[in-house]
Structure 1
Amino acid sequence: MSATDQFTESPTLTAIAIAYKNPDVSLIADEVLPRVPTPRSFKYHKYDEAGDFTVPDTRVGRRSSPNQVEIEGTETDASVEAYGIDIPLDNVTIEEAKKQKWNPEGKATERATNIVNLDREIRVAKLVSDPTNYHADHVEALSGSDLFSDPGSDPISILEDMMSTCWVKPNQLGFGFKVWRDLRKHPKVVKAIHGNSGDQGRATKAQVAELLEIKRILVGESRVNLKRPGEDPVLARVWDNIVCGQYIDRTADTSGGMTFGFTAVHGKKVAGTLPANMGIHGGKLIRSAEEVREVVIASRAGFLIQNATAPDA
């Protein structure tokens, strides 16, 4: 690769990539596993949660030193991975756009960032939907009359029971869209919130959070095409038929702190251009990228409910 073929970061496009959030796409990855700044290679502790429940003697004599507490858990080595996408723009399109006074490079940056963000949403959903990332006692698959779609089920008790199994009570719950749709109209939920017979009304995220005494309800609404480019599309929800609960401490990082997990981030999102050999007038590639790694560090600080509601007919 010659010097003229190298990636050139653009402060303007980078600012777009950092600030961009599609208002019509509901992504929850940054709340499920919040971002934490790290070097490219870093260490983190997988917790034996008992360490955070063991309180040492905190008395200090007049001429003595306080007791010391070491960070417990298994130290694990990890490193971030690079994720990015290029959007091609030919010079003819760029010149025509300038005449019409709109910015195709900025729009291409938004599109590329949207793709990178959706890819991250898929990774996080896959991570928290994997039962191996939880203690076995914190995973349950529903069936029959326990399904949230069954009006005779008791989703409030099911959620409270699952939260009580965790060594640290989750302060947020994440729902697949269909699960949330069935929960918010479930007669027992509606009755508990609105005080009616349960046959009318819907519950909001804020009302369910208050009912369960947690901070946040997150609903994954995004979709992804399961097929390869060129094949007939098959759209599916990124967040499947699950409910996941996490205790998230937003002050936790690689130095310590009890939290279900986080996203290690090196540096900032970047965007820029590369020259591209296309057409007779040439063009450029618009790149948006970031370096991140999603990790679970405390499996007992979360729970997973699989097959939470009946599939659509």
Structure 2
Amino acid sequence: MNHPFNIIPSLSAIAIAYTQSNLIADEVLPRVPVYTENFNHLKYKLEDAFAAPDTRVGRKSAPNQVSWGSELQAAMVEDHALDAPVPNADVDAYNLAKQAGTGYVAQADPLSRATKLVMQTVQNRREKRAADLVFNPASYGANNKETLTSNFWDDYANSDPLVQIDEYLDSMVMRPTVVVFGRRVFSKLSRHPKVCKAIFGNNTDAGKVSMQALASELGMEKICVGDAWINTAAPGQPATLVRVWGNHAAFLVRNKEADTQFGVTFGYTAQFGDQVAGTIQDADIGMRGGQRVRAGESVKELVTANDLGFFVQNAINPAP
């Protein structure tokens, strides 16, 4: 079969290796491999997890059986890819410079640069999908979310965030291991006088606490701060940049050993195969034709245990 999309290993290697330091989707919803595009995964219910059946066993009888409540659900990865046009004139100029050794810069390879540009945009969109899932009240159990209408964490006179957070965490059936903050939420929280006093001591209620210090105070393995922006304007219109991760917070149980068939965790990203990149010949690019560089991945972001997270909507005042 003739496939117009020619996967190129060197470009795929760039696509696999490409990362952006300010994106947190892979930390919040770790990638889990699946081996078919359609797959089954366990969706956990915690009703049976804390049962206390009789554990006594007679000399010749079988022990009672217990299982963690779950149901098998079907899912399917989604393909996410974009194209970037590269004129043949640019490729030819690069190859000539490489052969002549004049003006040759390895990083200026137009196909490699196009691959990085495409993967940057694909990953930006993944960040948006992850944020829309994690910062969504519907992703949490009925008792595992709160929308603040007062005592916002940037109301330094009236709020006590550490007390509020302790109450949230104490209500959960499992202690969370990671917390996700929108950037503005973390910035406000890290300067809260009561947070500073709790961490710095000596009645010091000013300054800014570090991410590591706050994680230790909250008993978390990691704090993930969403820094990414996204342009919501229509193509051709002036940019309208908004934070991908809004003014919210989420406390999650993250089990990196969990996969589609074993282990409980708030959520993960099912991934089929590696990121791929390649080219498609396109005679309509420029006078001499060109190549469309295509890069993408097949993934599906999932919440697998709604009760293993707690969501705080409008942790800081949403009013401008």
2:70 is aligned with 1:73: yes
* Partner SS state of residue 87, structure 1: strand
* Partner SS state of residue 138, structure 2: helix
Structure 1 unmatched runs, 5+ = none
Give the aligned partner of residue 94 of structure 1: 91
Count matched residues: 308
**Runs of 4 or more above 4 Å deviation:** 55-71
Which of 142, 149, 153 does residue 148 from structure 1 map onto?
153
Distance 1:104 1:117 in 2: 20
* Partner SS state of residue 251, structure 1: coil
Aligned-pair CA distance for 1:56: 6.5
TM-score, scaled to structure 2: 0.90
Structure 2 unmatched runs, 5+ = 98-102
The 1:92/1:258 distance shift into structure 2, 3 A limit, reads same
2:238 is aligned with 1:232: yes
* Partner SS state of residue 268, structure 2: strand
**Aligned-partner residue type, residue 44 of structure 2:** Y
Provide the identity percentage. Answer: 39
2:274 is aligned with 1:268: yes
Distance 1:197 1:207 in 2: 17
* Mapping 1:162-201, distance limit 5 Å: 162-201=168-207
Give the aligned partner of residue 133 of structure 2: 127
* Mapping 1:1-313, distance limit 5 Å: 3=2, 6-23=4-21, 26-38=22-34, 39-54=36-51, 70=67, 72-98=69-95, 99=97, 100-101=103-104, 102-144=108-150, 146-152=151-157, 153-277=159-283, 278-311=285-318, 313=320
Q: Do the aligned partners of 2:196 and 2:208 also contact (CA within 8 Å) in 1?
A: yes
Q: Do the aligned partners of 2:180 and 2:251 also contact (CA within 8 Å) in 1?
A: yes
Distance 1:261 1:93 in 2: 43
Q: What's the Cα RMSD here?
A: 2.1
* Partner SS state of residue 236, structure 2: coil
